[in-house]
Amino acid sequence: MIVFKYIHDISHYLHSLQQQGKKTGFVPTMGALHQGHISLIESAHTKCDIVISSIFVNPTQFNDPGDFDKYPITIEKDIDMLEKAGCDVLFLPSVKEMYPEGLTDGKQYELGYLELVLDGAYRPGHFQGVCRVVEKLLRIVHPDKMLLGQKDYQQCMVLAKMVETERLKTIIIICPTKREADGLAMSSRNVRLTNAFRAKAPLIYQCLQSIKKEIKPGDISHVKQQAIEKLVAAGFKPDYIEVANAQTLELLHTWDGKTALVALAAVFAGEVRLIDNLVF
């Protein structure tokens, strides 16, 4: 695996590969890698000639500075995991390399409704920061495909919109959420859970599964409310438990029995905010 720190160098290298007709797959990450990230690398391998990943803890997407300061950094282990997974190229830029213009005064993306609901509402500015860094990365790497995890469901929709409005040529591929054996969605933030919250954390996915099992056409507020009550009783602090149209993310209060749905959760387990979702 070749590691690049500078835009000039990686651009030059990838350009020559792309000139040779090699198809490239890109997996952007913030590091502290786990099997969820590695599954994206493996999927990229089956679809592309060259697999590129990036590790960059993007300061502009953290609405909570404490969360940014405590974001886990395990770079040596990450490099080892990427190498073992057969990643060909790693981009490891500094903040200065990515934001020579400074962190404030970035361009504004028109995200419409997607920025007003769920994590858009609970994490002001978060998706603007995500779009800003991913647009920059895509304009450096020019991948044929970018692989994203369904774990960040709303982020996938936001980035699809950004790619479309910025007229980028990259095709987005969404890969399934990897889970621990007890059902907890893998996340870099899981290492920050206390032992007590780690033991209880599978309840989040169990609540999403209960929503899927119990939902019936008509009013659906009670299934959401039951999930919130279970989580609160176990000591979690939910930001939201919602059911939405899986295509548009429109939040639903009633269900027609036909529309494809996604149940989404954002829950504080102590100081750690976890998200998960289930499509059905």
Interaction between residue 54 and ligand AMP (CB under 6 A): no
> Could you say which of 10, 14, 24, 29 contacts ligand AMP (CB under 6 A)?
29
Q: Which stretch binds ligand AMP (CB under 6 A): 29-37, 92-100, 197-205, 232-240?
A: 29-37
Q: Is there binding between residue 43 and ligand AMP (CB under 6 A)?
A: no
Choosing from 37, 45, 126, 222, which is the catalytic residue? 37
CA proximity to 209, closest of 199, 223, 197:
223
**What's the token pair of residue 7?**
């835009």
Token pair listed for 92: 């490891």
Closest C-alpha among 258, 239, 257, 259 to residue 249: 259
Residue from 43, 187, 190, 277 in contact with ligand AMP (CB under 6 A) = 187
Per CB under 6 A, 61 contacts ligand AMP: no
Residues 241, 64: Cα–Cα separation, whole Å: 21
Q: Does 151 bind ligand AMP (CB under 6 A)?
A: yes
Q: Interface with ligand AMP includes 143 (CB under 6 A)?
A: no
Q: Would you state the structure tokens that stand for residue 103, as one six-digit string? A: 């962190």
Cβ–Cβ under 8 Å, residues 27 and 1: no
Residues 6+ apart with CB under 8 A from 158: 111, 114, 115, 120, 127, 130, 131
Is residue 36 part of the contact set for ligand AMP (CB under 6 A)? yes
> Which residue's CB is nearer to ligand AMP, number 147 or number 215?
147
The yes-or-no answer on residue 37 being catalytic is yes
Give the span between the Cα atoms of 154 and 158, in whole angstroms. 6
> Catalytic amino acids?
37
Instruction: Give the interface with ligand AMP as residue ranges (CB under 6 A).
Output: 29-30, 36-37, 39-40, 148-149, 151-152, 175, 177-178, 185-188
